[in-house]
Amino acid sequence: MTCGGTRRRILSVVGARPNFMKIAPLVREFARFPAEFEQCLVHTGQHYDPAMSASFFRDLGIPAPDVDLEIGSGSHAEQVGRTMIAFEKVVQARKPDWVVVVGDVNATCACAITAKKEHVRLAHIEAGLRSFDLDMPEEINRLVTDRLSDLLFTTDAIADGNLRREGVPAERIRRVGNIMIDTLEQQRERARALDPRRIVEAQSLPGLARSAWPALTDDAFGVVTLHRPSNVDDRAVLAPLIDLLLGEIAAAMPVVWPVHPRTRKQLEAFGLWAAIVACPAVILTAPLGYLEMLRLTMGARVMLTDSGGLQEECCVLGTPCLTLRQNTERPVTLREDGGVSVLVGNDPARVRTAFRAALAGKRAAHRPPLWDGHTAERIVACFRELA
């Protein structure tokens, strides 16, 4: 893919793991109209480990990025600053008609600011989500990106309402549904064919392979993921959660935990890692690929997570989800709105109560309107109308 010629030039940006499943269906859909659009894919390189990045390109059939900015780790200012400096050169050289950003990571915000300062039109996919919590870096990224965007593609009516209240003109807002569910629907059958036990065997962390793995029968295991600074950066928060995991949750069922690099660093620094490794019912793995994670999510009896994307995937799959956060920018996934997710914060007593309730309850999938696997088609149709 290269930019150039008379067709409209679409420059799409990805940076971190949760972006890849959102961009895959979009790149594929734009490619169906080669006479109208030229695409250019930029990876900022915020996530760079093969398990956090390259495996998603392979599994989801995303073409290799045209440009890799190789930004890597750093403080927020370092990541955003380095991305802006590098992305500005790309925009100046490629001269796109549109820059398309997805989600709420540092790459999203950095490239949004840069695009607007270069007078390039900006589209944001997954606009209008609000946690109303400015302690979350993602909330800052969402606010800035939406304020600058010319086209705001939303997942649901609550997001539309948030944008309208902030004064975004109605004609810029297009409710198209959830593009991540396009990827889920496209990959569901491939994921279903995988065996959970094989997944954990293949992805076990170096030095943690076992001679016998517990059977991971559908509806009889749990999955944990944690990476948010509010959960993992403070020992006083993290240690009681680990006690609950090792004491009660792992006593009820085997638990698979794909460990985010940030979380592993913190568990080791806080002296909590050895106790987790020693617990036979907790299966620690490297960060999983998309298909592997989808397979475990569809089979899990319960999910404990602080990820926004998993909340949405659990909703459509019907997997009870305990969301270890005080708030969510995705209220449409909550039980009170018909979803499967319960906000439990990081207080072990609340997590315990909700865990017991989840075990006593039944699976029930919930599909919000337009979360139907056709969101990328609706987005590209908007661009075609704009001719």
Considering the rule CB under 6 A, would residue 16 count as an interface residue with ligand UD1? yes
Only segment of 6-14, 55-63, 93-101, 257-265 that touches ligand UD1 (CB under 6 A): 257-265
Nearer Cβ to ligand UD1 (6/75): 75
227 is catalytic: yes
- Give the whole-angstrom CA distance, residue 246 versus residue 278: 10
Q: Which two tokens stand for residue 180?
A: 């991540």
- Give the whole-angstrom CA distance, residue 47 versus residue 232: 18
CB of 95 to ligand UD1, least distance (A): 27
User: What is the strand order of the sheet 121-127 is part of?
Assistant: 67-68, 37-43, 8-14, 98-102, 121-127, 151-154, 173-175
- Give the whole-angstrom CA distance, residue 5 versus residue 226: 45
Q: What is the helix (H) or strand (E) element at residue 5, kind and residue range?
A: none
Considering the rule CB under 6 A, would residue 268 count as an interface residue with ligand UD1? no
Phi, psi (5° rounding) for residue 78?
Answer: -65, -45
- Among 73, 92, 164, 280, indicate the residue that binds ligand UD1 (CB under 6 A): 73
- Give the whole-angstrom CA distance, residue 384 versus residue 387: 5
Considering the rule CB under 6 A, would residue 120 count as an interface residue with ligand UD1? no
CB of 248 to ligand UD1, least distance (A): 27
Phi, psi (5° rounding) for residue 151?
Answer: -130, 125
Only segment of 46-54, 113-121, 290-298, 374-382 that touches ligand UD1 (CB under 6 A): 46-54
Considering the rule CB under 6 A, would residue 262 count as an interface residue with ligand UD1? yes
Q: Rounded to the nearest 10 degrees, how much is the dihedral formed by the CA atoms of 236, 237, 240, 244?
A: -170
Going residue by residue from 188 to 227, which x/- string records binding to ligand UD1, judged by CB under 6 A?
---------------------------------------x
Considering the rule CB under 6 A, would residue 261 count as an interface residue with ligand UD1? yes
Considering the rule CB under 6 A, would residue 138 count as an interface residue with ligand UD1? yes
| Largest Cα span, the chain | 63
- Give the whole-angstrom CA distance, residue 216 versus residue 292: 13
DSSP for 194-260, please give it.
S-HHHHHHHHBPTT---SSPPP--TTS-EEEE---HHHHS-HHHHHHHHHHIIIIIHHHS-EEEEPP
Nearer Cβ to ligand UD1 (105/380): 105
Considering the rule CB under 6 A, would residue 321 count as an interface residue with ligand UD1? no
Number of residues this chain uses to bind ligand UD1 (CB under 6 A): 18
Nearer Cβ to ligand UD1 (227/374): 227
Considering the rule CB under 6 A, would residue 18 count as an interface residue with ligand UD1? yes
CB of 102 to ligand UD1, least distance (A): 11
Nearer Cβ to ligand UD1 (28/227): 227
The SS3 call for residue 376 is helix
CB of 103 to ligand UD1, least distance (A): 7
- Among 106, 231, 323, 375, indicate the residue that binds ligand UD1 (CB under 6 A): 106
Nearer Cβ to ligand UD1 (2/73): 73
Q: What is the helix (H) or strand (E) element at residue 33, kind and residue range?
A: none
Cα dist. 22→4, 106, 124, 273 in Å? 24, 16, 11, 33
Considering the rule CB under 6 A, would residue 175 count as an interface residue with ligand UD1? no
Q: Please, how many CA atoms are within 13 Å of residue 306, restricted to the half-sphere of its CB?
A: 21
Q: Rounded to the nearest 10 degrees, how much is the dihedral formed by the CA atoms of 255, 257, 263, 268?
A: 70
Nearer Cβ to ligand UD1 (263/375): 263
* Active-site residue, from 43, 124, 227, 374: 227
Only segment of 5-13, 44-52, 83-91, 183-191 that touches ligand UD1 (CB under 6 A): 44-52
Only segment of 28-36, 60-68, 104-112, 329-337 that touches ligand UD1 (CB under 6 A): 104-112
Catalytic positions, please? 227
**Which residues sit at the interface with ligand UD1, rule CB under 6 A?**
16-18, 46-49, 52, 73, 104-106, 137-138, 227, 260-262
